[in-house]
Structure 1
Amino acid sequence: MRKKLLLSFIALQAWVLALGGSVFAEDPVVSITMGNGKEPVGASSLSLLLLITVLSLAPAILVLMTSFTRIVIVLGFVRTSLGTQQMPPNQVLIGLALFLTLFVMSPTLSQVNQQALQPYLKGEITQTDALAKAAVPMKEFMYKQTREKDLLLFMNYTKTEKPKTYQDIPITVLVPAFAMSELKTAFQMGFMIFIPFLVIDMVVASTLMAMGMMMLPPVMISLPFKILLFVLVDGWYLVVKSLLTSFQT
């Protein structure tokens, strides 16, 4: 009886394998069609595709075309100079940088909304005109924060003719030049933030060496003094004030 059951089970497995081999003998074909597959793709489908592309590029746009880069780098320098490891956490620094970016960019974003977004939503202008009008306030903001040296670097590389106004500068030239200028400005501000904390570290290290406590890590002693100094001078207020002032040109 057991032999018959075993033979029946083996036969069932062989039948399943044979059936599976016949079913999957050919590679499966997956096709994706837009619309009904018979008519050409409409403008609404292309607009949806373009919108998805823009949303996928939103993080890069946020980082490279706004004040976010400078703000988040300076806040990172503050934490590093204090030596508090992960305090404040990354989520707090990035959240603060995002809200400061919205605060700094609010006049520019307001112009984009009035000149491009609202007319487009009302159907007064086309999508192409809306993008062109939205680029004007963004170009104005980036041009004010971009160094001429950085701008000339990319213009000479692409052999772009000297524009009459900032509106004639291609966005592909202005964005990397703006990003380079933001990095340089952020590192300059970070260097100024490092100086007072570096002095504290040097004083503490010299004092410990003079007392013969060479085995005691100076960071353990200097950290409370750096935090105390930062709190007494209201460091976060000064850092945020410096960041906001740096965008007023």
Structure 2
Amino acid sequence: MRRLTAILAVLLAAGVMFAAPAFAQEIAPAAEDIAADAGLLDAVDEAGGLTKRIVQIFLLVTVLSLAPGIAMMVTCLPFMIIVLSILRQGVGLQQAPPNMLIVSVAIFLTYFVMEPVFKDAWASGVQPMLNGEMQEDVAFGETMKPFRTFMEARVDPGAVDILADARPLETQPAAEEGATPLSLLVPAFVLSEIQRAFEIGFVVLLPFLVIDLLVASILMAMGMMMVPPAIVSLPFKVAFFVLTNGWVAVSGALVRGYT
């Protein structure tokens, strides 16, 4: 009895194994028809589109979080901030104007200088992408063209050569023929702007240095060596700066340097 039961079980299992593929082949088309009728395939397609949108939103939020750094790298904002900060140090006032005001003035001066570049970038890349006339990768290249033109006009060729020598050419990302890759152009541009800002800052500091030297010489001649020259020279430097309308004159010179 036990043998008969075991034999029947083996035969039943073998029948199921041989019948399963055929049964699956018969069931598969029917299942696809049912899924199509129920709209499940459309739901899968919609889920794929939703996933793509989620990834796009995530990338957009990431780019927005990096917006301050991007603004510092592809605009003249570092140049403006450094020169205005050196100017404040030259006058001798540590917290007047405060850092927030210095940065705000630098941002609006940057917008004043970069407005044509922003308009060209919006018209050539961003607006066509929003209208669905251009893919994201093509729109990025078109958007960066005005910024590339701006940076190439200001970048120091020596900085480009030094950075290019620091990394083999074959490992650099591909760029258009005759164009410098962005991974090389952007840091070279930032370094060039910092170098130029310190050069302008040196020129700005010279008049205040002359005032400090004159005041120190007068104090020594009067025998007042215990009086700090910085305290005595501060009113004279502020008066000189106010009489020459220093903030407007320096800001106008900075803006004219980009025209």
TM-score scaled by structure 1? 0.80
Q: Superposition RMSD on alpha carbons, in Å?
A: 2.3
Partner of 2:109: 100
Partner of 2:192: 181
Q: Distance in 2 between matches of 1:133 and 1:61?
A: 17
**Letter in structure 2 aligned against 1:104:** V
SS of match in other structure, 2:93: coil
**How big is each residue's C-alpha offset from its partner over 1:11-68, in whole Å with a ceiling of 9 and x where there is no partner?**
xxxxxxxxxxxxxxxxxxxxxxxxx9xx556221111111011112111101111000
**How big is each residue's C-alpha offset from its partner over 1:179-222, in whole Å with a ceiling of 9 and x where there is no partner?**
11001100000000110100000000110011011111111110
Partner of 1:27: none
SS of match in other structure, 2:169: coil
Aligned with 2:203 (options 167, 192, 207): 192
Q: Distance in 1 between matches of 2:242 and 2:195?
A: 27
**How big is each residue's C-alpha offset from its partner over 1:50-103, in whole Å with a ceiling of 9 and x where there is no partner?**
101111211110111100000000000110000011001111111000101111
Partner of 1:225: 236
Q: Gapped runs of 5+ residues in structure 1?
A: 1-35
Partner of 1:77: 86
Matched, 1:44 2:53: yes
Q: Distance in 2 between matches of 1:206 and 1:90?
A: 32
Aligned with 1:143 (options 121, 140, 152): 152
Matched, 1:159 2:185: no
Q: Distance in 1 between matches of 2:74 and 2:211?
A: 37
Partner of 2:218: 207
Instruction: Give the drift of 1:168.
Output: 2.1
**Letter in structure 2 aligned against 1:128:** D
Matched, 1:62 2:71: yes
Partner of 1:30: none
**Letter in structure 1 aligned against 2:184:** V
Q: Distance in 2 between matches of 1:166 and 1:236?
A: 43
**Letter in structure 2 aligned against 1:130:** A
Pair 112,226 (structure 1): closer, same or farther in 2 beyond 3 Å: same
User: Does the 8 A contact of 2:71 with 2:77 survive in 1?
Assistant: yes
SS of match in other structure, 1:247: coil
Partner of 1:33: none
User: Does the 8 A contact of 1:140 with 1:167 survive in 2?
Assistant: no
User: Does the 8 A contact of 2:88 with 2:96 survive in 1?
Assistant: yes
**Letter in structure 1 aligned against 2:61:** I
Summarize the alignment of residues 123-138 of structure 1 with structure 2, pairs less than 5 Å apart: 123-138=132-147
Q: How many aligned positions are there?
A: 213
Instruction: Give the drift of 1:165.
Output: 7.6
Pair 220,54 (structure 1): closer, same or farther in 2 beyond 3 Å: same
Percent identity of paired positions between Structure 1 and Structure 2: 39
Partner of 2:251: 240
Q: Distance in 2 between matches of 1:73 and 1:112?
A: 26
Matched, 1:115 2:116: no
Instruction: Give the drift of 1:166.
Output: 8.5
Q: Larger Rg: 1 or 2?
A: 2
User: Does the 8 A contact of 1:70 with 1:185 survive in 2?
Assistant: yes
Higher helix share: 2
**Letter in structure 1 aligned against 2:104:** G
User: Does the 8 A contact of 1:136 with 1:167 survive in 2?
Assistant: no
